[in-house]
Amino acid sequence: MKVAVVGATGMVGNIMLKVLEERDFPVDELYPVASEKSVGKKVFFKGKPFEVIGLAEAVKKKPDIALFSAGGQTSLDWAPKFAEHGTTVIDNSSAWRMHEDIKLVVPEINADQITKDDKIIANPNCSTIQLVVALKPLHDAYNIKRVVVSTYQSITGTGVKAVLQLENEYLSQSGEQAYPYPIHKNALPHCDVFLENDYTKEEMKLTNETKKILSDDAVNVVATAVRIPVVGGHSESVNIEFEKAFEVEDVKQKLKAFDGIIVQDNPQMNTYPMPIYAEGKDEVFIGRIRRDFSVENGLNMWIVADNLRKGAATNAVQIAEYVVKKFKV
């Protein structure tokens, strides 16, 4: 089993290597791949150093699986080249997600859509993954009409530059900025770029990707995405309106029974999900589950997940695990 990790020196790439190791993914040959400026650097996997190679060299090695986390343009340029050599590419960028011929996969929901011929598979946006994991069992039971979501997103979703900005501001030091304003002691209602409709690209990802993953264009999703000075993971305040009536206790039971979800919901004991506890974990944590008394068949809940793990690296590795098991790659 030959595995390439493209973007191995980046924040998500590092977590991909960690998750591959933790989950004991069958790696016989590992190819850490990065841009030319990183070629020759060392990364560690299972305690051993591996030298970073360039993209062209990695293609020639014809890996069985290539996990991509190197940006949209790199994916557009290079994923097809790997695929032409028989490699199954699992891409963490936004490049292929809404392409009609590319599967957008959260394994707990729609891994069964993957076929042996799918050589490029898209990993959804981090904030979308945790949302749809929570929505899926409830949509199956009660038929979702509308979702209103406000996100509280970790700076790690922006990358190392944002982490350094927060650290510099905390220490009252000057340095390069990832954001147009300070992030320390602040909240920026601005994730990714603004589009013509005045929503950000991040907000529209939540709308469009949710419909595609749930295979239902009738699910209306509207979002406001906010960046906050947190490292551990993304949080989401979610309001759902269903077609069918529900009981709150039944909602909790359906969430508890769904793979990959941990319900933390005991207000009397101050038990609810928080990014400080989600960091480093692969599950989606759900709490503050309560009826919305302002609308018929309405529900409120709070969702938290580590955006670098389930929101990126872990989901990609889970897709790879499915492909290897199903198709004996």
Q: Which residues are catalytic?
A: 126, 234
Whether the CB-CB separation of 134 and 238 falls below 8 Å is answered with: yes
Q: In what order do the strands lie in the sheet with 298-305?
A: 220-227, 144-153, 234-242, 298-305, 284-292, 261-263
Nearest to 266, CA basis, from 250, 247, 287: 287
The DSSP code sequence of 3-19 is EEEETTTSHHHHHHHHH
Nearest to 211, CA basis, from 100, 318, 297, 120: 100
Q: HSE of 220 in the Cβ direction (CA atoms, 13 Å)?
A: 5
Where b means 16+ CB within 10 Å and e means fewer, 145-171 reads bbbbbbbbbbbbbbeeebbbbbebbee
Whether the CB-CB separation of 191 and 225 falls below 8 Å is answered with: yes
For 198, residues 6+ apart whose C-beta sits below 8 A from its C-beta are: none
SS3 content of the chain, % helix, strand, coil (to 5): 35, 25, 35
Beta bridge partners of 242: 144
Phi/psi for 131 (5° steps) reads -65, -50
Query: What's the token pair of residue 7?
Result: 């973007």
Whether the CB-CB separation of 64 and 329 falls below 8 Å is answered with: yes
Nearest to 315, CA basis, from 275, 265, 267, 259: 259
CA distance 280 to 147: 28
CA–CA distances in Å: residue 40 to residues 31, 34, 196, 255: 12, 10, 42, 46
